[in-house]
Amino acid sequence: MKHFLRVVTQFFVFLYCKCLWRGLKFVTRKFTGRCELQRICYSNKPGARRTLKIESSLRYSKYELLRSALSVHPDQVEKTIDDIMALKKINPDTNPQLGVSLQASLLQIVGYRSLMAEVEKLRREPYDSENTEHESMLMKLWKELRPDTPLTGRISKQWCEIGFQGNDPKTDFRGMGLLGLQNLLYFAEHDRTAALQMLQDSLQPKHKYSFAIVGINITDLAYSLLVSGALKTHLYNVAPEMAGLQHFQQIFCYLMQEFQRFWIEEDPSDIMEFNRVRSKFHRRILRQLKNPDMALCPHFSASDLHLVNL
């Protein structure tokens, strides 16, 4: 019986999407004189509300040109917009703002895909102790977090002082690859005061945790938000066009500081409660990002980008 009801439900959803919805769009266009993309652009302010609707409209369009627009190269965005307007028989001279709005939104959409690819590439790149660039970043991380304490050796128990698990940090980067190291270094360099304070707080007996390991875990959390599409709300609201790696790194900095506050609020009995607290924190961030007007707001003054709640 349940299977039958599921099949019937799927049939009606299919019927609605393929017939009724397209019929409704046709009637609405005849009544308003505007296609769906025009209605979206003219009735929504720039940001996630507009771009998410445009993205959905393109994805479910009956036209291959519109569906393929979601994956065009950034250099082809302007031409793609011209092709869309020609297909929709929209005069760019009488609708100049439409082309500008569509281009900005499409750049945000393809920019998100590009950012995902860049982040994934870093995540898949393993830390290599034979790579001088990797080693240089690791040494720089130590100097930023322990400026007054020389490192006695590359393999040393001192790494535990900044929250690694053993004598060689490279083993801790296996899950997130180079992405974990780059995020930690970005935090230490661009918001050094907050990073040093967080490191100091992590050593307090009452709320003790491993700073670097938590950073790698929060990198994983930020990565999952990006891959799931949850960060579209934030990025479409703060990046006027294409988001870059710096946007992702600033999200990481924000999440680190917010998790620190959340960890203290939860008052866990010991580090064994980390997964519970992390899951609860993850759910809270997801709830925030469901608001289409939401933009996560970092609290670091050294930021080159000022992310605000639009």
Q: What is the mean pLDDT of residues 170-185?
A: 95
Q: Angle at CA 143, nearest 5°, toward 185 and 168?
A: 75
Higher pLDDT, 14 or 87: 87
The whole-angstrom separation of Cα 257 and Cα 254 is 5
> In Å, what is the CA distance from 91 to each residue of 50, 98, 300?
21, 10, 45
Burial class (CB within 10 angstroms; exposed 0-12, middle 13-18, buried 19+) of 288: middle
Backbone angle region of 47, left / alpha / beta, with phi > 0 → left and psi within -120 to 50 → alpha: left
| Average pLDDT value over all residues in the chain | 88
Q: Give the helix ranges, DSSP H, for 33-95.
A: 36-43, 48-59, 64-68, 77-87
> What element of type H or E holds 110?
helix 96-124
**At 295, phi and psi to the nearest 5?**
-140, 125
**Residue in 289, 282, 232 with CA at minimum distance from that of residue 259:** 282
* pLDDT at residue 310 tops 50: no
Backbone angle region of 151, left / alpha / beta, with phi > 0 → left and psi within -120 to 50 → alpha: beta
pLDDT at residue 19, rounded to an integer: 52
pLDDT > 90: what percent of the chain? 74
pLDDT at residue 186, rounded to an integer: 97
